[in-house]
Chains A and B, each alone.
Chain A
């Protein structure tokens, strides 16, 4: 059974496809030493409304914005209690309205270290505590200052996350995590810009952020199928608002919350494709947000795991 659970690590990069660049592994599953897992996920995100400051609006010169992300990922068990994850999404953006060209390319490379600090039987289940540290940096010289089409925020990002999970022996579990994201500066292609005043520099400060996640999950079909429902919040700690009928920029204060539903099936009873899994999900942002497209995302992918 545990072998199959290890597969779940592959799900860690599920949220890479979001424009918020939440690439942080946020589940509670560990791979054993010398286990390796490859995952390939595809995310299709769209919005036709966005928040200008706190106000939800449409824009005929954008119409519907589409953001497709293909995310290859690899996870490896350095030891049983320490895993490393690498990911580098390929992003394509376009809009149905207006005359601005979309962009495509590799976004950021991210590496995360997940440590299982605590794993004990408590009552009728077990309690897990996992700190995660992650680092991400742009892989290509994409332009962050081309929002809402930009591939990403164009800056380094350090993340420190704490995960707590309590899992009943019968399969249902509850998980919560809190993360702080430290972002650096992004270099843009102009040396003057407005951020509640003049800035004479090619660098923009990208706001730091807090991320909160709460998940209810369960194992079904004799641990072949995992299902989860997640509530996800991302809030910048500073930043300015998009100005009236103006483009967003990397300095903006971004806030949103989102619910998502996710399922992952493992072919554990099929000897010839053992180690293979398929997954799918749907997520929707809720009505309150700030300086962000109100995304609906649908996605899926494959996972494959073996001993290295």
Chain B
């Protein structure tokens, strides 16, 4: 286009009036160019026609609840009762004159709000994934849950924090929905639009009983788990939940008693889930310097090497040294999945892998650079656990899962990812292995080196675990998932921040850890 314009000018420049026209055309193109497409902010869909309703979902085994009837929900009023008829009339009236923002809310939340709450969780993970910078005197202040406003604000949503946040969120959603399904098919209150065909329902119709409201369960557990994880977002999350609960009415999905029962389930389930979270050991994961030094000294005594943070000013403590001691979901002891000893610095084996990194740094192809950046998932992103949630979300939409099955997918995915994170961190701080920038003099990288030891690679471990669970749930996609996990592992080598053995043993470790979760999932009666 540019060339064309120039040549036009050459040919017509002699004639003054034509010249002017060309100039006008040139500037007109500038205006044209300024119109840009809107960029997507979320998965774009408004309704899913579910592939199945999982009518036996109430018989599935919950993760933390003893059974699907642990939370007791009383029977709803009968369909023909005046109370219910009054509720239906109120619903019908509420759906008849929606405001523009109510219509938008209905389209946004859809009939699978698990998707939206997962997106909200990933957005908050990204928003809070900022590492605290140094104070003017060169010291660092760590985020403190007792003073969330900071500075720095709480939390720093790094990969261990985010994988744990996602695990509790999706376990709470899953246990809440198993409970809801149990009562839906116990009491069998028909969908609003089945009882009253004149009620306009916003989504694809089905025969799922409406009491208790699955949407209300999801809204309440999601709001409350995320508020516990991101205390500064309390008001934002309350507004989101309020809009979500409102959309259940505006879409014609639920009468008020459906919603109240769903909210009750959500409130009871979140108590059980947060009770586990408060005692899982996470509060000890970020250790004081003395403890951190003793962990480093123990590794040095054991192996003769010691990772060091290479930032300026140096960070005195690595990221969550005791995350490896956090309670696992499905692996009895973290030691049974700990990988073997890595090659010693100075050994021929290490030299070979270090040389490979230097070779990549010198001759990185554009494809390799893209892979490194594609899976970078560092600061200011949703982290590798978030990346795999996003991939799972796309499959959930593709395979048109109902909310219960969506929650199950995320619940097992995120348990495996968190177990993988715990196992990886156990290895990182047990072996305390130095990063390439510490071992290779003058080495420069295209990715930032994180503030924790090298062996094994978190990306590799998280990704292999995620791929293992997704391959079980979406067998037709297994080869893609495994390929992506391998690519995610390789990406750290291209980026110069992990040795090949970090990546390969990390992949093995993640797969092994996730097998425990998959074996458990196979027994929950959903298959």
Interface, chain A (partner B; CB < 8 A): 59-61, 63, 78-79, 82, 84, 97-102, 111, 113, 115, 131, 133, 135, 137, 141, 143, 145-146, 156, 158-160, 182, 184-185, 188-194, 197-201, 203-205, 208, 243-247
CB pairs A–B below 8 angstroms (19 shown): A78-B13, A82-B19, A98-B311, A99-B310, A101-B446, A101-B496, A113-B6, A133-B27, A143-B373, A158-B29, A184-B33, A185-B37, A189-B373, A192-B126, A194-B123, A198-B41, A199-B39, A199-B40, A199-B41
Q: Which of B237-245, B378-386, B422-430 contacts A (4 or more CB under 8 A)?
A: B378-386
Which of B34, B131, B134 is close to A208, meaning CB atoms less than 8 Å apart?
Answer: B34
Known: A111-B6, A113-B23, A244-B152. A200 touches B381 (CB 8 A): no
B234 touches A (CB below 8 Å): no
Give Cα distance in the complex from A193 to B122, angstroms: 11
Give Cα distance in the complex from A90 to B237, angstroms: 48
Give Cα distance in the complex from A159 to B34, angstroms: 11
Known: A158-B33, A190-B373, A201-B39. A246 touches B443 (CB 8 A): no
B95 touches A (CB below 8 Å): no
- The smallest beta-carbon distance between A53 and chain B, in angstroms, is 13
Against A, the Cβ 8 Å flags (1 = close, 0 = not) of B18-36 are 0100010011011101101
Give Cα distance in the complex from A199 to B130, angstroms: 17
Q: Which A residue's beta carbon lies closest to that of B312?
A: A60
Q: Is the CB of A60 within 8 A of B40?
A: no
- The smallest beta-carbon distance between B34 and chain A, in angstroms, is 4
List chain A residues, Cβ under 8 A from B448. 99-100
**Most chain B C-beta atoms within 10 Å of own C-beta, residue among A97, A158, A159:** A158
Against A, the Cβ 8 Å flags (1 = close, 0 = not) of B422-459 are 00000000000000010000011110110000000000
Which of B30, B37, B130, B437 is close to A133, meaning CB atoms less than 8 Å apart?
Answer: B30
Query: Which residues of B (1-19) have their CB < 8 Å from a CB of A?
Result: 2, 5-6, 9-10, 13-14, 19
B232 touches A (CB below 8 Å): no
4 more A-B contacts (CB under 8 A) besides A78-B9, A246-B380? A82-B13, A115-B19, A192-B390, A244-B152
B90 touches A (CB below 8 Å): no
B374 touches A (CB below 8 Å): yes
Known: A192-B382, A200-B42. A61 touches B123 (CB 8 A): no
B376 touches A (CB below 8 Å): yes
B370 touches A (CB below 8 Å): yes
List chain B residues, Cβ under 8 A from A101. 361, 444-446, 496
List chain B residues, Cβ under 8 A from A102. 444
Q: Is the CB of A158 within 8 A of B122?
A: no
Q: Is the CB of B133 within 8 A of A135?
A: no
List chain A residues, Cβ under 8 A from B13. 78-79, 82
Q: Is the CB of A99 within 8 A of B444?
A: yes
B132 touches A (CB below 8 Å): yes
List chain A residues, Cβ under 8 A from B34. 158, 182, 208
Give Cα distance in the complex from A88 to B381, angstroms: 34
List chain A residues, Cβ under 8 A from B40. 199-201
B258 touches A (CB below 8 Å): no
Q: Is the CB of A245 within 8 A of B130?
A: yes
Known: A115-B23, A184-B33. A192 touches B381 (CB 8 A): yes
B205 touches A (CB below 8 Å): no
List chain B residues, Cβ under 8 A from A59. 133
List chain B residues, Cβ under 8 A from A243. 130, 380
B325 touches A (CB below 8 Å): no
- The smallest beta-carbon distance between B367 and chain A, in angstroms, is 10
B127 touches A (CB below 8 Å): yes
- The smallest beta-carbon distance between B193 and chain A, in angstroms, is 32
List chain B residues, Cβ under 8 A from A82. 9, 13, 19
Query: Which residues of B (451-482) have their CB < 8 Å from a CB of A?
Result: none
List chain B residues, Cβ under 8 A from A160. 27, 30
Top 5 A-B pairs, shortest CB-CB distance: A60-B312, A245-B133, A189-B373, A101-B444, A158-B30
